[in-house]
């Protein structure tokens, strides 16, 4: 299937980032949100990102203008009927995603591929509420989308080879590096990353080293760009805990037990950068 138009449901951080990389890669984009204010905010973010690329001479003024011209916005799902691929990029909430997918499935032509940008929800479960489970797939982009090279292509139990190949080809067209992943809690990256963060909290709780030294150890010893504790603050300690709770419940394996210190900090409201205090304190 030739994909020249992509519908994107959600104009937030992930949605507008996906819209930007699609538009700069020559695809027509229809970005949908329930509020026009959200759409305008998403467009403003895209404009700002493209302006920064222009100042760094990574794109020309003509390329910036062409990309913006390829993006349409709407508050009606009807406007994605002409898209060959629709990417759901709403908030990471199961019931919300199920509601959106049912609505999309009812109005899209049967040949349209539907993808979800979930980072944790079962692709098999989401696909099952549609009448196109073989044409449903996960496309997990990473934040910030215009910068991060990776896309996890997640196959549900029902995903066809043709759907996988079409979406993988699209990811390559977007300049991304796709990896193919089976459906499982956390997929690949978060399955490895979040337990590592959890283990860093165990190390901190046991007093083996200070937060600064733990982070320095992983940065300098493993060549990580940011230490696990600082990364937890960036992600949000509540998010890290929620993910660990999912793993613990889904795998029924004690190795995924959340660190008591992590649980206590979340209970105290020390959630990281967004609250001004986590492992570190922020102005």
**Annotated binding-site residue? 14:** yes
Q: What residues are annotated to the active site?
A: 119, 140, 152, 190
Dist. CA 6–CA 83, nearest whole Å:
5
Helix (H) or strand (E) holding 98: helix 94-107
**Annotated binding-site residue? 198:** no
**Annotated binding-site residue? 236:** no
CA dihedral 209, 253, 123, 145 (to 10 degrees): 0
Is residue 136 a contact partner of residue 130, using CB atoms and an 8 Å limit? Answer: yes
**Annotated binding-site residue? 99:** no
265 is written with which tokens? 């900090």
**Annotated binding-site residue? 56:** yes
**Annotated binding-site residue? 274:** yes
**Annotated binding-site residue? 175:** no
Dist. CA 119–CA 149, nearest whole Å:
16
**Annotated binding-site residue? 97:** yes
**Annotated binding-site residue? 49:** yes
Question: What's CA 238's distance to the chain center, in Å?
Answer: 17
Phi-psi region of 177 (alpha: psi -120 to 50; beta: other; left: phi over 0): beta
Preceding peptide of 254 cis, ω within 30°: no
**Annotated binding-site residue? 255:** no
- For residue 238, give Cα distances in angstroms to 97, 199, 212, 263: 21, 16, 21, 8
Coil, strand or helix at 282 = coil
**Annotated binding-site residue? 15:** yes
Dump strand ranges (E) for 19-146: 28-32, 71-74, 85-88, 113-116, 136-141
**Annotated binding-site residue? 13:** yes
Binding residues, by number, are 10-15, 33, 49, 56, 92, 97, 119, 143, 274
Binding residues for NAD(+), by number, are 10-15, 33, 92, 97, 119, 143, 274
Binding residues for CoA, by number, are 49, 56, 119
């Amino acid at each position: 299937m030739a994909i020249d138009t992509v519908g994107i449901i959600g104009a937030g951080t992930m949605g507008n980032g996906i819209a930007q990389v699609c538009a700069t890669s020559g695809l027509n984009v229809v970005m949908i949100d329930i509020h026009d204010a959200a759409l305008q905010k998403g467009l403003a973010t895209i404009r700002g990102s493209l302006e920064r690329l222009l100042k760094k001479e990574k794109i020309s003024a003509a390329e910036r203008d062409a990309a913006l011209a390829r993006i349409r916005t709407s508050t009606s799902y009807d406007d994605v009927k002409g898209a060959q691929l629709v990417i759901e990029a709403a908030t990471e909430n199961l019931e919300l995603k199920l509601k959106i997918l049912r609505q999309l499935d009812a109005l899209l032509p049967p040949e349209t591929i539907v993808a979800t940008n979930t980072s944790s929800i079962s692709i098999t479960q989401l696909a099952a509420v549609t009448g196109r489970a073989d044409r449903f797939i996960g496309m997990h982009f990473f934040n910030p989308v215009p910068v991060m090279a990776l896309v996890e292509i997640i196959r549900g139990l029902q995903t066809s080879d043709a759907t996988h190949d079409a979406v993988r080809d699209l990811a390559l067209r977007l300049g991304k590096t796709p990896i193919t992943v089976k459906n499982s809690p956390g997929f690949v990256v978060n399955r490895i990353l979040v337990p590592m963060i959890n283990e860093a909290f165990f190390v901190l709780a046991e007093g083996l080293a200070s937060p600064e030294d733990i982070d320095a150890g992983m940065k300098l010893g493993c060549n990580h760009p940011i230490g696990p504790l600082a990364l937890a603050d960036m992600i949000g300690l509540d998010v890290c805990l929620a993910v660990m709770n999912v793993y613990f419940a889904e795998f029924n394996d004690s190795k995924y037990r959340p660190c008591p210190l992590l649980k206590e900090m979340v209970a105290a409201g020390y959630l990281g950068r967004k609250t001004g205090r986590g492992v570190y304190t922020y102005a």
